[in-house]
Structure formats: structure tokens, C-alpha cells
Amino acid sequence: MLALADQCDSAAAWLQQGGMIELYHRGEADQNLPVQVEQRCPHYQELSRFFQAVVEVPSAVSVSDNSNGAPALVAPEPARNMQELDANAAGPRDKQKRKREPRTNSAPSKKRQKQETRRSTAAASVLQSAKNAARSASPAATRQSEGDFTDTAASRDTKDDLSRRLLECELQQKEDLARCHLEGEREREQVRTNSEQEREEIRMNCEKLLSRHKLLSAGVPIDVVDRAFPL
């Protein structure tokens, strides 16, 4: 197999030095060129395709593996403020319209609104103070003060429940991380298995070509070779 690889590389290097490799693969070279290539490497076209596949399979695997130096994703730039975009989108005509808008004389109405607001706020404050005084003198307020101890105990129980829930969440998080790690290991093992299967198929194809070449060189008819080692 190494000898076939050396012959294929030698023929490719000869074509490359002469600047004829592209013409050869496109079928535009003269008739003497394929004969010279066959003298250097019989079955050059078939072997070149298979050896090129052997080179491309590991490269595809390395690209899919992020641990072998995959390029980091560049985070997109944050969007600008929408208010700034709206302000920049406004044209000079819109700004001139804003400057030319007439001002209405609304000072007296605003003053009256402020006075009415202050009066209503003061009345609401007095009413709320009276309600609070009545509630403090009622038996319900006494019962409320007696229930403060019960509320304190309930808040203590609530803190204990929150601590227990927090501990449960931490344990669940650790279990999820361990599960994700195991799943990642299974996926990587599957990728390695698929790569090994592809390499094994390529190796068998190369051995088949080598066997065909030996039989044809020994003078075995091509129909017998095709039945024994079909392509």
C-alpha cells in the first residue's frame, strides 16, 4: 500500500512540475501524457481519488471537534439605544416643526390644578389618620399585636423551607451537570467509532485495488478480476 502511495505521489509531483496536472484531470492533455502517467503509476486516476479521500476524512473530523482549535464565535455588537436611533432618524423638517409649534397660555389652568391637587392630598391624609386612630383603638388591633409572635414563628419556618429548597436545587444542578458530561462522552465516542469505520472502509478499498492490480499484472482476465474484486 505504501508503494502505491509513493507511485501516486511521484506521478502527481511530475504532473505538477510540468504544469499539466489540471489539463490531465480535465482530459484536455495530449494522448502521450496519459501513457507517460501510466508508466509512472498504473491506475493513477483511481488511486488519486482514494488517497485524496483518506486525507479528507481526518480533516473533516478535526473540524467537527471543538477541542482541536475551532475558531471562537464572535459575539454580535449590542444594539444602540432605540431613543438615540429615533432621534437621529428625525429629519431637519421635523425639528423645525417642533420649534414652530405655538405655545398655549396654560399657566392659570396649571396653577388651579396644583391647588386642587394639594387640597385633595391634604383631605386624604386627614381621613387616613382618622382611620388609623380608629383601628388602633379597636379590639382587632389588639388581636393583631398578639399575633405578631405567630407571624415571627411562621417566617422562621419559611426560612427553613427556603434553605431546604435551595439545597435540593444545588443537588439537582450537580446531577444535571453529571448527566450532561456522560452524554457528551457518549457523543464523542460515537464520532470516534464512525471515523474508525470510515477509515476501515477506505483501507479495504485500497486493498481491493491492490489485489486487482496484482491479478491484472499476472495476466488474469479482467472479467475474472471483476467477479473476484468488483469495484
Name the pTM for this structure.
0.24
Q: How much is the average pLDDT of 105-116?
A: 66
Q: How much is the average pLDDT of 142-162?
A: 69
Cα angle at 34 between 32 and 35, to 5 degrees? 65
* DSSP result, 141-193: HHHHHHTHHHHHHHHHHHHHHHHHHHHHHHHHHHHHHHHHHHHHHHHHHHHHH
Instruction: Quickly state the pLDDT bin for 172 (edges 50, 70, 90).
Output: very high
Q: What is the pLDDT of residues 186-199, one digit of tens each?
A: 888 888 889 999 99
Nearest to 206 by CA among 68, 48, 56: 48
Q: CA 142, CA 224: separation in Å to the nearest integer?
A: 110
Q: C-alpha grid cell for residue 214?
A: 496484482
